[in-house]
Amino acid sequence: MEKDKEQSNKEENDKTRSLAQHTTDDSGQLLTTNHGLRINDDQNSLKAGERGATLLEDFILREKITHFDHERIPERIVHARGSGAHGVFKVYESMASLTKANFLSDPSAETPVFVRFSTVAGSRGSTDLARDVRGFAVKFYTQEGNFDLVGNNMPVFFIQDAIKFPDLVHAVKPEPDNEMPQAASAHDTFWDFISVMPEAAHMIMWVMSDRALPRSYRMMEGFGVHTFRFVNAEGVSSFVKFHWKPLLGVHAVAWDEAQNISGKDPDFHRRDLWDAIESGSFPEWELGVQVVPEEDEFKFEFDLLDPTKLIPEELVPVQRIGKLTLNRNPDNFFAETEQSAFHVGHVVPGIDFTNDPLLQGRLFSYTDTQLIRLGGPNFHEIPINRPVVPVHNNQRDGFMRQTINRGKVSYGPNALGNGYPAQAKASEGGFTSYPERVDARKVRARSKSFFDHFSQARLFFNSQSDPEKNHLIDALSFELGKVNAVEVRERMLGILSMIDKSLAAAVAFALRIPVPQDPELPVNRSIPADGDPADFDSYIFEGSLTASDALSMAGTIKEGIQTRKIAFLTADGVDEKSLSIVRDALESAGAVVEIIAPRLNFIVSGNDLQIPVHHSYLTAASVLYDAVYVPGGTNSVATVESEADAIHFLNEAFKHCKAIAADASAMQVIEATYFSNKLPADFTDQTVLKEGIVINDDPEALADKFILAIAQHRFWEREKPRKIPA
């Protein structure tokens, strides 16, 4: 017995010792590689000069990103929750003067595409309506091979150098000790990281704005983020920024609405995209480019290679050069949407890279991450990733190899195979890199032209409409209100005060924390461990452009109501005329009308017609619709008024600033709402279009005004003006 006890104690001690060997505390320690080498600079990748290309020999960058790329399987580390669709792209007119890319040179050609939209931070099972960046990745299956334009719905990013990407994602992901919160940035680690990374200031303005809560994938912009190159047949290079402009305009939902949608239908965006394509309402975007001649590279107040900066459209207008149409849903989600593999390094002749240090790191990372996620080096053979042109090279074998190559030659050069597959001349479509001159020392550093962190953040805030500014302030107040560490909140108020004093004051008022009178400049993370901060203190800069209309959604397209979803609140005894006339008018204008009633299947109108019902009041919710209408009919109106869910439906629609209409005979339903005092006392025989509320006893006149109201998307003027100290 004693011997057994001794053995048990020994095993327990061995177990404790083993656990201790695998436990570490990083407090007070110096940073090292996984092999124990101390790191002097964890902020900058190794480049050929401050603005030069990232070097393959940067073993610290490669170790860090390789580990990051392989941290989670099998879903994507970022952009895990996605929705995809097939479509086509056509260029309007030849762009051959700028690029030799064939798909941009032939207006008669139709290039097949696959597009994947996504959220960034959450897992595959998270909600579509998280406050987050949205991925917008387009795979063009061109006759010269695949071109992947892998972008987001925001034109800038949090960081300037790819070596910081693992840190950013570690910070925004659920915290490692408790795996909370899911698909949310409102927690300590994210804002701690942001509060000591001043380069993220511009992106934070975008993520806290309404752009992070799109109404639909079909109603959001897309951006290539980085500056790329166009190269024409003569070898002349231009810098280019890519844009996607939605033909339905750019629209968002309210934050309270987004939270409700997450509970009612977490697949809201995925369902919206699927339903639109299934119904034949094909989503469309125009491809736009901002082109900067090579000789103008340094003419701006910002650096074209800085991914935290955009080119204001006032300085370089966006040329719309072609149209993307999504016209087919996937046949199988996993085989197509989930297995689609995008990579910024998939380019065709005529499109090339710049030395943007974030882009340079992505060129390494994307192939590496697909190797583990899709099982090996043959992920390009999965049908959704295959090019439409033949593939010929000397690569063989590997996990899940599909191609059966004939012959004994798998190397080059060779004589047994007569030298084939042979290298292609440039005139034969062979890709040649732009011969940019490189003459620099190897350094871990960042160009001082990257040190302006606040002027474009200020430009974005100044460009917002008053409702958009209020929403941004609310978002920051909410997110920082979820942060437990007071010192993080205080640092963020210092950051915000460098963007705009009124912004900082408004958020400080909500947090009941004073704005720092003389906030310390946040540490410039471009400085290596032994750098001199005095050399890097000049990054507070006032840009000459104070506002840009293109940065606000207030001026977006507000014509037409195609694909807008309209709820009709009804019951037995509904006036068939007031229902059908308005429904026909809305559907003729392209809207989708759904009948909601106390019970499913059908309702019986006042003239004994059966009208199909789409949802009951139990299964429907106002947050899933763009507008709401209450038709007439004595019995129907009385029933709707008595339905608490129906009155809540209307109250919530009003709260979220949506268009509301009612037949004049249904006025008692409106009077049961909290917003009835918004209407004039005498409404008879008149149309009231005030704050998006339409009342009329003529269904045709009502329909005309209602369509105009729905087209406005939202009536943000209903929100009370913010009252804060100056």
DSSP secondary structure code for residue 663 in this structure? E
Residue 532 structure tokens:
């001199």
Q: Which two tokens stand for residue 722?
A: 């913010």
Number of H helices, E strands in the chain: 17, 20
HEC string for 285-342 = EEEEEEEEEHHHCCCCCCCCCCCCCCCCCCCCCCEEEEEEEEEECCCCHHHHHHCCCC
364 Cβ neighbours under 8 A, 6+ residues apart: 61, 62, 65, 162
Strands 610-613 and 601-604, sheet pairing: antiparallel
In sequence order, what are the beta bridge partners of 214? 252
Q: What is the C-alpha separation between 189 and 211, in angstroms, rounded?
A: 23
Continuous segment of H or E residues that includes residue 222: strand 222-223
Tokens of 618: 């139990």
Cα–Cα distance between 622 and 182 in angstroms, integer? 25
E runs forming strands in 451-591? 565-569
Asked, as a colleague might, if the bond just before 214 is cis with ω within 30 of 0, I would say no
Backbone φ, ψ for residue 140 (5° rounding): -90, 120
Do residues 541 and 454 make contact, with C-beta atoms less than 8 angstroms apart? yes
Closest CA to 79 of 163, 172, 209: 172
Beta bridge partners of 662: 630, 695
Distance of CA 457 to the CA centre of its chain: 18
> What's the CA gap between 60 and 444, in Å, rounded?
11
Please report, as a single letter, which amino acid is at residue 523.
V
Question: Can you tell me the distance from the alpha carbon of 552 to that of 463, in angstroms, rounded to the nearest whole number?
Answer: 6
> So which residues are the catalytic ones?
79, 152
